[in-house]
Structures are given as C-alpha cells and as structure tokens.
Amino acid sequence: MPIIETRDLRKQFGVGDVAVEVLRGVNLSIDAGEFVALMGPSGSGKSTLMSIVGGIEPPTSGDVMLEGVNISNLTDDQRTLLRRRRIGFIFQAFNLIPTLSALENVSLPLELDGVPSRIARERAAGALERVELSHRANHIPSKLSGGEQQRVAVARAIVIEPAILLADEPTGNLDSRQSERVTALLRSLAADHKHTIVMVTHDAKVARSAFRLLLFRDGMIERDVHQSDFEHGFPAGDSGIFLRPNFEQLNHEFPSGEKISGKVASEGNR
C-alpha cells in the first residue's frame, strides 16, 4: 500500500473570471521509504501540492490518502493530529522561532503535543545529534549559519519521528556547500528507512540525491522517473547520456535554464 496517494487532485484559486486551476489532476503514488524529488517551473503548483498532501489546505476536488486514510474524511482535529504526529515539514525559509534556542525550537512540536518538557528536551537533544548540531543546542537561530539553521529545522521535523517528510525547496536559501550537507542529511534519513521524503527542488544536483524524480508542469506530473530507469543513477546537467534499446532520451529544460537529460527506460519498457 502506498504511503502517499493522490487521486485526480485539483486545486483552483479564485472564482469566475479570475479562477486559476493550479493543480489539474495529480495522480501520485509513493511507497514507504521512497525519497522523491519534485521539480518544475516556478508557479507550476509544487508548493500547493505539498500543502494539500500535508493536510494544511484542502483540495478543490480529488483525494489524498496518507497511510491508506483519506484525509478529507478526517475531522479538523484528527487532521491536526495527523500533521503533528505523522508529517514533518521543512521550508526554504527555515521558519525557526528567533527567540528560542536550537534545542527549544526542536522540542517545541513535542511540547505542543503535550509531551512533558523534560522528555521533549531529551528527544530534541537526540534529534540535534542526528543532524550533528549538539554543540549548537543553546544557540538562537541568528547565531547559526543558514545551513545550521536548516539542519535545526530538519531536527525539528524529525523529532516527532514522522512517517512522511515534506521539504519545500530546503536548500533554496543555502550556498552549495551547505546545500550538499543538508541534501546528504535528507538522503541518510531516507536510507534509514524511517521516513518517506518528498522534496521540492530547483537544483538538479540536489534532485539527483533522490531515488525518484517527478517533473511537474502546469499543475500536472509530466514525467515520473525512477532511478532504476537510468543505467547509472540520475543524470544531471548534460552528463549521463547512454544508448540502449528501448531507452528514450529525456531532455527536460526548465525556463530557469536548468536541464536534465539522459536515457531513461521508455514507458513501454516498464
């Protein structure tokens, strides 16, 4: 059973003349333990998809099933609990509380859920250890680098041990060195088989660390490529062109200029 499934998911903003259909029938199936990168032009609906999958906002129509449960059948309270206990969110802007230390930021989701303070802090310390930031536990965010702040945000997301991690451009504000570290961290979390990760990214290098690539365009999934479809992992840039029967050329260029190309198994070959 897929851990995340969407069925003909549609989202419209506005009504009448100004109505915009941002999601135009998204059908998605992600198994437990997958690490999926979602790429697509700005404004194509990626963040909207993430917030609907995470139960933050409702779709206009269609269904989201998480762990086999249709989330639109839940009450608001049940949905809040689901978000609080089963889903970790990571955002481009870190969204840490500036007046709280790293440790306090990480323990907050547990304390909000009623976990006693002492236990919450112990678990938060454990999460900070997993992101290799124990030595920064008592620093407030402004005393940390961008990469460190994002690792604190990752610790805050995983402290609840969520089944699903949704990361919306987690490396968008980081330089390439910090970006690599956060990406490696997400990959190791996925490899631990404890979390299923969906990560939006504009960076083909970051996307390459995932096991599967969804190319999103105009509110729909245009391509769904698994790492095993490539002969030698995901290609990035112009690298990784291979010739093999029944493989077709994937050449995807986004308006921003990023490009993914390589030979992938053609649909008929799957």
Instruction: Write out the residues near ligand ADP by the rule CB under 6 A.
Output: 13, 22, 40, 42-48
Q: How far is the CB of 38 from ligand ADP (least distance, A)?
A: 9
CB of 22 to Mg ion, least distance (A): 11
Query: What is the C-alpha to C-alpha distance for residues 23 and 8, in angstroms, rounded to an integer?
Result: 9
Which of residues 10 and 194 has its CB atom nearest to ligand ADP in the complex?
10
Residue 42's binding partner, choosing from Mg ion, ligand ADP, none, with beta-carbon cut-off 5 to 8 A by kind? ligand ADP
- The interface partner of residue 45, options being ligand ADP, Mg ion, none and the CB cut-off 5 to 8 Å by kind, is ligand ADP
Q: Report residue 92 as tokens.
A: 């481009």
Considering the rule CB under 5 A, would residue 173 count as an interface residue with Mg ion?
no
Beta strands in 124-200 (DSSP E): 164-168, 196-200
227-to-6, 27, 28, 244, 260 alpha-carbon distances in Å = 21, 19, 17, 16, 13
Q: How far is the CB of 156 from ligand ADP (least distance, A)?
A: 22
Give least dist CB 57 to ligand ADP, A.
8
The binder of 242, among Mg ion, ligand ADP, none, by C-beta within 5 to 8 A per type, is none
DSSP E strand boundaries for the chain? 4-13, 20-30, 35-39, 61-66, 69-70, 87-91, 164-168, 196-200, 212-217, 220-226, 247-253, 259-265
Measured from the CB atom, is 13 or 242 closer to ligand ADP? 13
Give the range of 42-50, 102-110, 122-130, 222-230 binding Mg ion by CB under 5 A.
Answer: 42-50
Smallest distance, ligand ADP to C-beta of residue 28, A: 15
Would you say 47 or 72 has its CB closer to Mg ion? 47
Closer of 48 and 196 to ligand ADP (Cβ): 48
CA 65/CA 30 separation, integer angstroms: 10
Separation in Å, CA 237 to CA 202, 224, 227, 231? 12, 18, 16, 16
Count of residues that bind Mg ion according to CB under 5 A: 2
Tokens of residue 137, six digits: 């536990």
Q: Which does 43 bind (CB under 5 to 8 A by kind): ligand ADP, Mg ion, none?
A: ligand ADP
Closest by CA to 208, choosing from 174, 183, 190, is: 183
93-109: b or e for each residue (b if 16 or more CB lie within 10 Å)?
ebebeeeebbbbbbbbb
List the single partner that 265 binds among ligand ADP, Mg ion, none, CB under 5 to 8 Å by kind.
none
The single-letter code of the amino acid at 130 is R
Among residues 12, 47, 173, 266, the one that binds Mg ion under rule CB under 5 A = 47
Q: Contact positions toward Mg ion, by CB under 5 A?
A: 46-47
